[in-house]
Structure 1
Amino acid sequence: MAKRQNISKAIVVGKALAAATLKRRAQAIEKRRRVLAKAKLKVEPTKRVLAKAPVTHASMGVLIAEGDSWFDYPFHDILSDLEDSYGFDVESAAHRGDTVEDMAYSDGQLDDFSRRVEKVLRMGVEPRAILLSGGGNDVAGDEFAILLNYATSSYPGLNDSIVTGVIDQRLREAYVTILSAITAICKHHLGHPVPIVVHGYDYPVPDGRGFAGGWGPLPGPWLEPGFRRKGYSEINRRKQICVELIDRFDTMLAGLAGKPPFGHVRFLNLRGTLSTGSTYKTWWANELHPTQKGFDAVTKKFAAIL
């Protein structure tokens, strides 16, 4: 009963945040309209900028994305691969390092998302789908160690009550909130919901590798320090705990997708896509992010569900 009440409250919060966002965006749209009405615009035919790069307007559809570093990673990520390898056009409001709570409760995030929807509609195109990525930054990094009991304690491994509080309460409510807000914004602009794809993560290898080695100011590692602090030195035990954590997160997220009021939401299961065996470094660039080969494999599954 308490869980249903929390979900109902999160839906109400999401709709309220969407309403506040749409009010701000209506003011911005009116400001833009006045500026364009006063401007003396001369419409010219589109010119080909590069003779050796013919322009094509063919597309598999327009996607709007909100998310974290799996959507916004240097040199290669899921969104760039969807454009370059699968022919989609992507409007992205994703920012590496963002948490699901940032996306759900920060006014600026929802404003940016709504702006992307408006931009697509001005082109006379309806989005084919919304892509939503998030959750890794809510549990990795400085916060990770709190999820663990000490290895020498009476109950080693994940602290079930804390994991329940973080994943099954905080993250679940944040996801319900942002899904409700995104749905309300799309309904306002289009009169109906747009399909939303959410995804889990694959099982990481907590070996202490950060971005480009994680030296100095570079990000990472995100998992190994917490394991080391709580006394877990054996890599296979660390990997086992990560499997349990990812399974908990995916179970939570899969439990929302396709269920009222989120019948338009699809869950993409990415577990088992990237190897954690002896060749894992060809799949994982560091503790949290795939290599180009890994991103290619993940994007293939996105393209299939789309």
Structure 2
Amino acid sequence: MDNVYWSWDASTADGGNPSILAIGDSWFWFPLPGGSLINQLGKLVNADHYILAVGNNGAEAFDYVEGKYRKDVRRQLGLHGPSLSAVFISGGGNDFAGFNDLRPMLNDDCSQATTPEQCFRPGNDARTLEWLMTKTADSHRALIGQIMASVPPAAKIVLHNYDYAQPTGKGPFGGNSGWLKPALDDAQVPTALQADCIRYLIDRMTTKLRVLTAIDPNRVFLVESAGTLTPQDWVNELHPKESGFKKIARQKWLPVLTAIGLT
């Protein structure tokens, strides 16, 4: 799409002045044919809006405020903040996606578990589910604060909660190198319970994101897209096909974008 840029240099070369900043991970940056969610959102917003993406594949929520994309986020907010109509945020999925992220949160042996809750280590010490969810929510809260300090009072902030990822073991280029199933298998989570464990994670994250909208209900919005896709809509464990991204954009994002005046 001509109104979507993944490079500030490219946007300035085209004379585009971003009115929407999209701070995100692979759901905004997915490089395979069909593109990402941002490709679909670019088709929905008014033609006079330019979207500039910040972040990259694999980005975690922490990266936007204290990690590798901190400087770029601050730079773009400094350059374009006063003229922004909205900021889209995609973060949190990579915080638990990956063997080294997910496996520590699971119990050593989940073979006898009958509910998702029984698979996760209790408490809120380091590397537990509660610790991760709090850390991710704190990163979102800090990012929202930076955005609000940089953009006009009328600018909107839109979060989203992905969808219920599929622990199939299918990686980015096929094969058996996924982000979720290896950790679930290592923890001996029963196959019939693995999808429910991921659903439990997404639902816990959604609860945290809902709380963030209370910062300012007139400015902070949450697109609740979990539950939109079928298993056939996914190209691998974490990413929808082009048709899946299109479904989420049109069914879940469009009503929100329309309500805040971007379509």
Instruction: Please indicate, yes or no, whether the TM-score normalized by the shorter chain is above 0.5.
Output: yes
- Would you identify which runs of 4 or more consecutive aligned residues in structure 1 move more than 6 Å? none
**Unpaired segments of 5 or more residues in structure 1?**
1-48, 50-56
Q: CA offsets, 1:229-250, max 9 Å, x none?
A: 011241x310111111111000
Residue 159 (structure 1) aligned to one of 121, 146, 149 = 121
Question: What is the count of residue pairs matched by the alignment?
Answer: 230
What residue identity is the alignment partner of 1:109?
Answer: Y
State the partner residue of 2:72: 112
8 Å CA contact 2:78, 2:150 repeated in 1: no
State the partner residue of 2:30: 73
What residue identity is the alignment partner of 1:231?
Answer: Q
8 Å CA contact 2:77, 2:147 repeated in 1: no
Distance 2:212 2:44 in 1: 30
What residue identity is the alignment partner of 1:104?
Answer: V
Shift of 1:156: 3.4
**Unpaired segments of 5 or more residues in structure 2?**
1-13, 258-263
Q: CA offsets, 1:29-64, max 9 Å, x none?
A: xxxxxxxxxxxxxxxxxxxx9xxxxxxx9xxx9321
8 Å CA contact 1:201, 1:250 repeated in 2: no
State the partner residue of 1:13: none
What residue identity is the alignment partner of 1:248?
Answer: R
State the partner residue of 1:9: none
Evaluate the alpha carbon distance shift between residue 214 and residue 97 of structure 1 in structure 2; reply closer, same or farther with a 3 A threshold: farther
Distance 1:92 1:165 in 2: 29
Distance 1:185 1:109 in 2: 17
Which SS does the other structure have where 2:51 is aligned? strand
Distance 2:65 2:84 in 1: 21
Shift of 1:304: 2.3
State the partner residue of 2:10: none
Q: CA offsets, 1:115-164, max 9 Å, x none?
A: 4345557xxx9322100000011111021111212213688322232211
Evaluate the alpha carbon distance shift between residue 127 and residue 199 of structure 1 in structure 2; reply closer, same or farther with a 3 A threshold: same
State the partner residue of 1:35: none
State the partner residue of 1:83: 42
8 Å CA contact 1:92, 1:116 repeated in 2: no
8 Å CA contact 2:63, 2:70 repeated in 1: no
Query: Aligned-pair RMSD on alpha carbons?
Result: 2.7
Distance 2:143 2:44 in 1: 29
State the partner residue of 1:140: 97
State the partner residue of 1:264: 219
Distance 2:234 2:83 in 1: 35
Distance 2:74 2:141 in 1: 18
TM-score of the pair, normalised by structure 2: 0.78
Distance 2:111 2:39 in 1: 44
Shift of 1:80: 1.4
State the partner residue of 2:195: 239
8 Å CA contact 1:99, 1:135 repeated in 2: yes
Which SS does the other structure have where 2:55 is aligned? coil
Matched, 1:248 2:204: yes
Shift of 1:81: 1.6
Shift of 1:110: 3.9
Which SS does the other structure have where 2:189 is aligned? coil
State the partner residue of 2:53: 92
Q: CA offsets, 1:212-269, max 9 Å, x none?
A: 2157xxxx410011011011241x3101111111110001111111x13565110110
Distance 1:200 1:99 in 2: 14
